[in-house]
């Protein structure tokens, strides 16, 4: 009777490969990188006994040929190696390891040689291993390797001479080219990397409502157009932004339209909320007639690209009662007992101008394909960046599918998740494929809170898959700090967003013109919110922060240290009102130290610790720091140095550490 195997694999495989990192949810989701970066891989690799192990990191662009590089033992059975990711798309990687019997023999024979206790049996064992290697070798190398084996068996008693043939560096390198890997162990999972273009990791977003882009000299309430946005582009380019984010540009419904300041009753001239999408003119692939035509939109996209900017479109999968889908596909919505469609609610609030989509519909497949076609349509119009509204209120499996589908055809596409929800939901959306994510930055309002939050985002597992995009304000959020902190708060929060994160954005012109009046005390809604009315903005106002914003964006572009989040490090300060942190690039030739006074009313001073060796520099004091905002240089003669920040004149230092 045939015996049943007691192992599901060859039991002679003695090497254990464990805990390969980075690895998200046991390999269920890919880690993320930017083209040109590398992936640092770590693994625990061990075996019984004292035999020596060799291990390789295998990687490839998905569908391509595997490449291998050796892993190195860093001690305590912990092995590491890194591989480059050069282009967009997916890469795969795994680890293989095996007992190296030749290296084990070689290590032992060297010890015996030093102790003068080598015998003929030791040499015969080695010769056998080398002869096996010759049989695996190429036709070119096999004779030479066989000669090395024969030298070990030449029959003389001159052991040192017999060993010299195998102990030379050239011989060892030649034999190691052909290891015996028949009993190698491969890690149980092939892991993946999603590689995105550079703008996925370094971008500056500027949000504006096209309908409010008209000149302030026009009559109040005059509807702006795409052509007006074209006239605004040189201004946005001078500010230093590279992504121009437009809220929904689709036809707006009239049924249950909202009035000014979110009034449930609209006046005859109220334009409604752009997020109440759909009317007789069309739905998610149509353009609001007052904005212009599709030709105008395409011209706008071309103009943006001529200014080295690109558009981001808001995709909000919800419908006004007037959307064509409501009559064409009522099965995609939830019906109430009386036969009417369920509108959106956040009790006690009612949003009767919006119908949510039902992702539990039996017709979910047709729904998914229709929603995918929305993204595909705008990709065909040369849009490659999407800000997705409230993705956490739509099915997670849908996002995983649709993002993969779109990026298969348009790999450079960027998806930003606007999801102010629980951390696990935000992280799951990032795992599902969202390129960037909104965060809790807006509500982290002390140095201690920011340090704790950024430490989580940059040094724990989310750093492998969650790319933060920091916004000090949005059309939905006017935080109390901006309401009460005046210009110091606007300057500080902008500097924090722009230097803590490689990706950030502002809602303008409300931000640079320091709009700070809430709808009511205790509310984070703007009074006279552009979500419900057309505004005219005087960009020449004296309180504009445009020069300040432009300067910091220029610093970001010139200083590679500020272009990602990988080397963020916080530094001690004896004043808890001051946040100090540094960033550097991989090479260490761009090093930035930022100090921010987060008390927006009073001057604060203190001693900050900055040690160049702690950030990977060999420099010792004295060294020069150059404030890039004021162009003033200071010589620091120790690792602890005094700073003073007056919120009304200079709430922020952005120091470049001069290395020459």
**Token duo for residue 261:** 């300041």
For tokens 């010759």, name the residue. 134
Active site includes 587?
no
CA distance 347 to 437: 26
418 carries an active-site annotation: yes
Could you give the CA distance from residue 444 to residue 452 in angstroms, rounded to a whole number? 9
Residue 145 backbone phi and psi in degrees, to 5: -65, -40
Alpha helices of 8-85 — where are they, by DSSP H?
none
Give CA torsion, residues 544, 541, 644, 620, to 10 deg.
40
Using CA atoms, how far apart are residues 60 and 507, in angstroms rounded to an integer? 41
Here the tokens at position 546 are 């445009």
Report how far residue 572's alpha carbon sits from residue 597's, in angstroms, rounded to the nearest whole number.
Answer: 14
112 Cβ contact list (under 8 Å, min separation 6): 118, 122
CA dihedral over 416, 418, 419, 420, signed as positive or negative: positive
Closest listed residue to residue 414, CA positions, set 441, 440, 388, 377 = 388
What phi and psi, each to the nearest 5 degrees, are found at residue 336?
A: -80, 165
The C-alpha atoms of residue 651 and residue 648 are separated, in whole angstroms, by 7
Residue 615: name the closest of 583, 639, 643 by CA: 583
Q: What would the two tokens of residue 175 be?
A: 């034999």
Backbone angles phi, psi at 623, to 5 degrees: -145, 160
Q: Which one is catalytic: 418, 464, 515, 564?
A: 418
Nearest alpha carbon to residue 579 among 487, 481, 496, 478: 496
Reading the block at residue 494, the tokens are 């902008």
Which of the 8 DSSP states describes residue 4? P
List, in sequence order, the alpha helices (H) in 501-560.
546-558
* Helical spans, DSSP H, in 27-141: 101-115, 120-136
DSSP state of 15: -
> Locate tokens 């903005």: which residue?
537
How many of the other CB atoms lie within 10 Å of CB of 367?
21
Which of these, 246, 244, 243, lies nearest to 203 by C-alpha position? 243
Which residues does 342 contact at the CB level (< 8 Å), separation at least 6? 333, 334, 335, 336, 355, 356
500-525 in b/e burial notation, b at 16+ Cβ within 10 A?
Answer: bbbbbbbbbbbbbbbbbebeeeeebb
| Choice among 310, 389, 515, 530 that is catalytic | 389
**Cα–Cα dist 209/299, whole Å:** 17
Residues catalogued as catalytic? 389, 418
């Amino acid at each position: 009777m045939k015996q049943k195997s007691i192992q599901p694999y060859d039991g002679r495989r003695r090497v254990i490969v464990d805990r390969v990192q980075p690895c998200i949810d046991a390999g269920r989701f890919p880690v993320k990188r930017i083209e040109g970066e590398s992936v640092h891989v770590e693994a625990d690799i061990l075996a019984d006994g004292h035999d020596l192990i060799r291990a390789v990191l295998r990687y490839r662009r998905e569908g391509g040929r595997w490449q291998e590089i050796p892993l190195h033992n860093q001690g305590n059975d912990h092995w590491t190696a890194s591989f480059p990711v050069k282009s967009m798309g997916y890469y795969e990687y795994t680890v293989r390891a095996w007992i190296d019997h030749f290296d084990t023999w070689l290590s032992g024979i060297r010890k015996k040689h030093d102790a003068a206790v080598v015998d003929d049996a030791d040499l015969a064992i080695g010769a056998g291993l080398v002869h096996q290697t010759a049989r695996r070798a190429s036709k070119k190398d096999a004779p030479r390797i066989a000669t090395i084996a024969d030298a070990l068996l030449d029959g003389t008693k001159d052991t040192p001479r017999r060993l010299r043939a195998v102990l030379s560096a050239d011989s060892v390198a030649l034999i190691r080219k052909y290891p015996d890997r028949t009993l190698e162990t491969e890690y149980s999972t092939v892991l993946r990397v999603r590689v995105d273009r550079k703008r996925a990791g370094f971008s500056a977003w500027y949000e504006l409502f096209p309908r409010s882009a008209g000149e302030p000299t026009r009559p109040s309430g005059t509807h702006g157009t795409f052509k007006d946005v074209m006239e605004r582009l040189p201004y946005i380019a001078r500010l230093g932004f590279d992504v121009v984010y437009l809220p929904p540009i689709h036809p707006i419904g009239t049924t249950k339209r909202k009035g000014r300041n979110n009034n449930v009753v609209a006046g005859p001239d109220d334009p409604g909320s752009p997020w109440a999408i759909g009317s007789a003119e069309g739905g998610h692939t149509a353009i609001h007639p007052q904005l212009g035509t599709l030709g105008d939109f395409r011209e706008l996209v071309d103009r943006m690209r001529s200014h080295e900017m690109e558009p981001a479109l808001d995709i909000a999968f919800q419908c006004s009662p007037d959307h064509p889908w409501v009559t064409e596909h009522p099965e995609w919505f939830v019906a109430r007992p009386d036969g009417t469609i369920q509108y959106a609610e956040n009790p006690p609030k009612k949003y009767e101008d919006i119908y949510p989509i039902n992702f539990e519909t039996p017709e979910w497949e047709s729904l998914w394909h229709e929603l995918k076609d929305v993204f595909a349509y705008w990709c065909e119009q040369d849009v490659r960046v999407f800000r997705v509204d409230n993705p956490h209120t739509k099915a997670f499996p849908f996002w995983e599918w649709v993002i993969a589908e779109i990026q298969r055809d348009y790999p450079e596409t960027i998806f930003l998740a606007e999801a102010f929800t629980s951390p696990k939901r935000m992280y799951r959306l990032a795992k599902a494929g969202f390129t960037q994510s909104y965060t809790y930055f807006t509500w982290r309002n002390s140095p201690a809170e920011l340090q704790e939050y950024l430490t989580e985002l940059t040094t724990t597992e989310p750093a492998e898959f969650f790319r933060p995009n920091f916004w000090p304000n949005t059309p939905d959020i006017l935080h109390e700090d901006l309401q009460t902190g005046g210009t110091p708060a606007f300057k500080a929060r902008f500097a924090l967003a722009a230097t803590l994160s490689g990706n950030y954005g502002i809602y303008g012109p409300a931000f640079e013109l320091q709009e700070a009046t809430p709808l009511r005390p205790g509310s984070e809604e703007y009074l006279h919110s552009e979500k419900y009315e057309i505004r005219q903005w005087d960009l020449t106002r004296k309180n504009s922060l445009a020069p300040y914003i432009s300067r910091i964006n220029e610093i970001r572009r010139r200083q590679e240290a500020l272009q990602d989040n990988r080397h963020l490090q916080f530094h001690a300060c004896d004043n808890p009102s001051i946040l100090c942190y540094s960033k550097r690039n991989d090479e260490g030739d761009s090093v930035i130290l930022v100090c921010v006074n987060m008390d927006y009313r009073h001057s604060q001073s203190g001693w900050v610790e900055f040690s160049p060796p702690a950030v990977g520099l060999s420099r010792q004091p004295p060294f020069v720091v150059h404030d890039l905002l004021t162009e003033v240089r200071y010589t620091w003669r120790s690792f602890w140095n005094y700073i003073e920040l007056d919120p009304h004149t200079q709430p922020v230092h952005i120091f470049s550490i001069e290395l020459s």
